[in-house]
Amino acid sequence: MTITHRFVDTNGIRMHLAEAGEGPLVVLCHGFPESWYSWRHQLEALAAAGYHAVAPDQRGYGQTDAPPRVSDYTQFHLVGDLVGLLDALGEDTAVVVGHDWGGPVAWHSALLRPDRFRAVAGLSVHWSGARGPMKPTDALRRFMKGKFLYVLYFQDEGIAEAEMDGDIRGFMRRTLYSLSGDIPRDQARFFNPDARCFNDVLREPDTLPDWLSEADLDVFVGEFERKGTFRHGINWYRCIDLSWEYMAPFAGRRIEQPALFIGAEFDVIHGQTREGVAATKAAIPNLREPIWIPDCGHWLQQEEPEQVNQALVSFLNSL
């Protein structure tokens, strides 16, 4: 199955997308620091199963436009980009799937535009369903009590960029390895509260994991070298308070569409637990039985593509 590429205009930006297959539309949303290439295994598998699979470079990434203002990266912008993508493709509805930061985009798309997104699947990041009483960064600072957390480290413009942009390949290599299931459990340190910078929570691999070849790394690195900076992806983190403010009118709204969560045993992001995901049923009444992939880390659709493909195809076929 051939993966093809094109550009569409959506929500005031020019968006690059990779696609394969024909049939009902499935939109695949990547996370940080990634690109459409994170879904390379799913594009072909979903196409073979009879679906039109589309993986865009999201706002600020790869060959898609990167607006200059921090405030251009709220969840409302990101959902708007996907609605415009459906319009550009001439589709009324789609199933939306998201991993990592693409997870919140997928969940918010289902929440805000149920008329356009008929089902939703989240990988790694579940939908909490609750809008907290204070700004997210205030809540995180209160919880961390001055200790290091990468989300807070990302808030000040220029600091993270200065650390990461000078060694794009090294940063990508260390990040992809350090959050994977391949790093020994006793060496995983992504949430080290005593860290002083992002590289302090990463580890250099002796060799690349089996699921990540040098050619794969070349693609990821090349996508960030196009813009020469991680700034635009980091801006997503800098908009969490603004998105929280904008979401006030939607507090308490439920996601009523069919939904799926796929988690991994060794995923350090958000410390996902079976109990925590099960508790989201109150906000997502049609959440299917969550799927947990053993012996796998954060990059589950790359680390264990066959298991993720099987889960997604089964979910899609059941709709």
The pair of structure tokens assigned to 156 is 């000040």
Peptide bond into 56 cis (omega under 30): no
Instruction: Find out whether 43 and 18 touch, Cβ atoms under 8 Å.
Output: yes
Alpha carbons 68 and 60: distance in angstroms, whole number: 9
Alpha carbons 254 and 285: distance in angstroms, whole number: 8
Active site includes 210? Answer: no
Instruction: Find out whether 318 and 55 touch, Cβ atoms under 8 Å.
Output: no
Alpha helix positions (H), 129-167 = 136-144, 150-153, 159-164
Active site includes 126? Answer: no
Residue in 77, 108, 232, 298 annotated catalytic: 298
- Residues facing residue 7 across a β-bridge: 16
Alpha carbons 237 and 317: distance in angstroms, whole number: 34
Alpha carbons 206 and 315: distance in angstroms, whole number: 37
Residue in 81, 100, 182, 267 annotated catalytic: 100
Separation in Å, CA 148 to CA 167, 185, 189: 22, 20, 12
Residues carrying an active site annotation: 100, 298
